[in-house]
Amino acid sequence: MNIHQISVIYHQEQDRLLARISSQESEELRLWLTRRMTLSLMPVLTKTAAGQLAQQTEEVDVAAPQDVQRQRMVENFKKEALAHAGDFKTPYQAKDAALPMGKEPLLVTEVKMALLKSGKVQLDFIEKLPEPGRNVRIAISAQLTQGLLHLLDKGIKKSQWLKLPPDSGISETADTPEPPDPMEKPRYLN
């Protein structure tokens, strides 16, 4: 699959992220990412992305002449800058695309990740449900990996999964909840 665009949108009603991946062959993959899955995926994907960038950059030989060291450092900087140079201004083009996984997005329950010798990150998104599950495998370049990380981060911020509501009674610095105000009216969850 030659990936053309990736979109990650937070759906408040579902309390999930919907990742849409379109190909240059006019196919689209749709993936539901839950809070638990996304928050456990981010540290692993971040570490793998760092390994992906390290694999593409050359080590600077301290015994080499300074002009060679500088040249390698500049080349490494250019490669890293290219990986972070994604286009986040062009809107996702939702067009009539073939849906090889079906109309209903795949509910990701497991992700397998590998850094390939080619420098791409291979991601296996797996749906394990009581019915026969589905899965999809994609391989993404360093630029797409950095873009996906950025989009997931934006989705997490929009979802506020890492923020506590101001009226939760839980201090972000302490593990114990604050005692309720006796003058405050009780609140109920319906």
pLDDT tens profile 113-149? 999 999 999 999 999 988 778 999 999 998 899 899 9
Q: How far is CA 141 from CA 52, 98, 123, 146, 155, in A?
A: 9, 23, 11, 9, 21
pTM, two decimal places? 0.73
109 versus 189: the higher-pLDDT residue is 109
**pLDDT score at 122:** 96
Statement: residue 85 has pLDDT above 90: no
φ and ψ at 40, to 5 degrees? -85, -25
Q: Where are the domains of the chain?
A: 3-105+143-159
Statement: residue 176 has pLDDT above 80: no
Question: What integer is the mean pLDDT of 157-168?
Answer: 77
Residue 169 zone, left/alpha/beta (φ > 0; ψ -120 to 50; rest): left
70 versus 178: the higher-pLDDT residue is 70
Mean pLDDT, the chain, rounded, equals: 81
| Cα–Cα distance for residue pair 151/148, rounded to 1 Å | 5
Q: Render pLDDT for 11-48 as a digit per residue (tens, 0 to 9).
A: 999 999 999 999 888 889 999 999 999 999 999 999 99
**pLDDT score at 70:** 74
**pLDDT score at 152:** 94
**pLDDT score at 173:** 47
| Cα–Cα distance for residue pair 45/85, rounded to 1 Å | 18
**pLDDT score at 184:** 57
Statement: residue 181 has pLDDT above 60: no
Confidence of residue 59 (pLDDT cuts 50, 70, 90): low
